[in-house]
């Protein structure tokens, strides 16, 4: 999870709840809270190996990132491709 505006503690609580649910279902699960900018995320910064399965939910973050209609750099699509 990407923490913004002092969300880190709330997100840690979410991670703990998801961890308990995964344990109950006997599913391997790891939840990390990072405090870097969304556009700068990489598998390495998240501590993921290339063979790790990575699920990302940016539903409430991507709509604020500029796309090709705003910037020729298109940071939204660059993040999605990475």
Q: What does the pLDDT read at residue 3?
A: 80
b/e string for 27-55 if b means 16 or more Cβ within 10 A?
eeeeeeebeeebeebeeeeeeeeeeeeee
Tens digits of residue pLDDT in 65-74: 777 777 777 7
Tens digits of residue pLDDT in 9-56: 888 999 999 999 999 999 998 888 888 877 788 888 878 888 888 777
State the CB neighbour count (10 A cutoff) for residue 63: 9
- DSSP string covering 55-72: ----TTTGGGS--TTT-T
On whether the CB atoms of residues 19 and 6 are closer than 8 A, the answer is no
Global pTM reads 0.62
State the CB neighbour count (10 A cutoff) for residue 2: 18
Mean pLDDT of 76-82: 76
């Amino acid at each position: 999870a990407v923490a913004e505006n002092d969300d880190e503690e709330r997100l840690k609580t979410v991670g703990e709840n998801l961890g308990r649910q995964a344990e109950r279902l006997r599913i391997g699960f790891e939840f990390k809270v990072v405090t870097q900018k969304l556009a700068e995320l990489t598998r390495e910064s998240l501590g993921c190996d290339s063979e790790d399965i990575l699920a990302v939910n940016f539903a409430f973050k991507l709509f604020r990132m500029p796309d090709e209609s705003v910037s020729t750099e298109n940071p939204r699509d660059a993040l999605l491709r990475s």
